[in-house]
Amino acid sequence: MDRPELATDSRYADHKSRGVHAEELDALSARGIDVGGRVGVSGRAHLLLPYHKVLDRTAEAGRGAKKIGTTGRGIGPAYEDKVARQGIRVADLRDAERAEQLLRAAAERVNIRLECLRSEERVDASELVEQVLAIRERLVALSLDTGRIIHDAIKGGQRVLLEGAQGALLDVDHGTYPYVTSSNTTSGGAALGVGIGPTAIDAVIGVVKAYTTRVGEGPLPTEFPSPMQEQVRELGGEYGATTGRPRRCGWFDAVVVRYAARVNGLTGLAVTKLDVLDTLPELQIATGYHVHGETLDDFPADLGLLAEAEPVYETLPGWQTSTAEARRWEDLPERAQDYLQRIAELTGAAVWYVSVGTRRDQIIHVERE
């Protein structure tokens, strides 16, 4: 599901403080980049509106100690509206009168729910309508049949890259439910979200760090203890891109990545942040979990089991030298190569790319036979 946040440019700056803005589009424009004809939004994309954020914050606060750890951006409530068939899409903005009717009905519905949640917040229907209609023309101008565009590109022999967000374990069906996002983040969701058939996808690259991280709540069996937790977090700059929250870090979990390789149908891995491990004297990889006297080699659906799991570790020596200048596989220290090869063996997915820094020229393309 595409979910553009409602947007404005400098002409509508008075609305920015009220939650309706287009930071990414405006940032491009400020750099002199003309987004016209280069940026499009699916007409079938559901809008993430200010009241979704209100509902998100209210629901999370009501969970008390059982908080999911949402970003508070309103994503969950937007998906709830979509599935309940009461969402508002980009295409619904083409007719201003119909859009106003939908918005006023939504405000009424949301206020009833907020009252039931015992929240004192309310949505002002007139203000909501004013905000959305002020940027309606700009958003409609970006509206395209993105599925058709991508379909035609594929048929025309062009190379198409579909980029997913969030990890496999945040998938609403295959992740650590309920500590997940509200959509399918695994590769099958790419075809659904874009509007192409699954047979059009001929390669799936799984992007995985050389160690494990997680933002928010939920079990993390290989989590580092302090002070190593803080050490790796600082070395890797592990803070949430949306919220700035510190990420939880741990040893590479081959059980998780092996599971991710299966549910995504991975054809290759891109292993990032290998350089973060450069100073460590030894490394551990979780190959399985000990639970109730048994060893599990696959990722359990029962979070109760996961919470009790003790990782089965395999220890490898660290390379303790900088990898930042490596540009070919042969440039990597032998022990770093051994570490990456072991990851490939344990997960069943070949390593296609390795990053040893934040710059584009610090990505190593691994030659494949």
Helices (H), the chain: 23-30, 50-62, 75-83, 96-116, 125-134, 136-142, 146-155, 188-194, 228-236, 254-264, 303-308, 334-347
Rounded to whole angstroms, the Cα distance separating 111 from 163 reads 36
Determine the pLDDT at residue 215. 78
| Poorest-pLDDT segment among 63-72, 73-82, 111-120, 141-150 | 63-72
The yes-or-no verdict on residue 262 having pLDDT over 60 is: yes
Which residue segments constitute the domains of the chain, with CATH numbers given? Answer: 10-144 (1.10.300.10), 203-365 (3.90.170.10)
The yes-or-no verdict on residue 189 having pLDDT over 80 is: yes
The yes-or-no verdict on residue 2 having pLDDT over 80 is: no
The yes-or-no verdict on residue 17 having pLDDT over 80 is: no
Q: How much is the average pLDDT of 105-120?
A: 93
3-state helix, strand, coil in the chain (%, to 5): 45, 15, 40
What does the pLDDT look like over 292-302, one tens digit per residue?
Answer: 999 999 999 99
Give residue 164's pLDDT band: very low, low, confident or very high (50, 70, 90): confident
The yes-or-no verdict on residue 23 having pLDDT over 80 is: no
Rounded to whole angstroms, the Cα distance separating 67 from 47 reads 25
As a whole number, the mean pLDDT across the chain is 89
CB atoms within 10 A of CB 109: 15
More confident residue, 53 or 8: 53
The yes-or-no verdict on residue 188 having pLDDT over 90 is: yes
The yes-or-no verdict on residue 207 having pLDDT over 90 is: yes
Give residue 26's pLDDT band: very low, low, confident or very high (50, 70, 90): confident
The yes-or-no verdict on residue 232 having pLDDT over 80 is: yes
Give residue 369's pLDDT band: very low, low, confident or very high (50, 70, 90): low
Q: How much is the average pLDDT of 315-343?
A: 97
Cα separation values, 43 from 40, 73, 97, 142, 195, Å = 9, 21, 18, 9, 12
Provide the residue type at 239 as one letter: Y
Determine the pLDDT at residue 11. 26
Tokens of 5: 């946040």
Determine the pLDDT at residue 21. 54
Beta bridge partners of 344: none
Determine the pLDDT at residue 22. 67
SS (H, E, C) 134-161: HCHHHHHHHEECHHHHHHHHHHCCCCCC
- The secondary element (H helix, E strand) that includes residue 88 is none
Q: How much is the average pLDDT of 332-353?
A: 97
| 179: helix, strand or coil | coil
The yes-or-no verdict on residue 10 having pLDDT over 80 is: no
Rounded to whole angstroms, the Cα distance separating 165 from 240 reads 13
Q: How much is the average pLDDT of 69-86?
A: 88
> In this prediction, what percent of the chain has a pLDDT beyond 70?
93
The yes-or-no verdict on residue 3 having pLDDT over 50 is: no
Determine the pLDDT at residue 4. 39
Determine the pLDDT at residue 347. 96
Q: How much is the average pLDDT of 245-264?
A: 95
Determine the pLDDT at residue 350. 96
| Poorest-pLDDT segment among 182-191, 242-251, 261-270, 320-329 | 242-251
Determine the pLDDT at residue 181. 86
Task: With CA atoms as reference, report the closest residue to 57 among 204, 184, 243.
Answer: 243
| 24: helix, strand or coil | helix
> In this prediction, what percent of the chain has a pLDDT beyond 90?
69
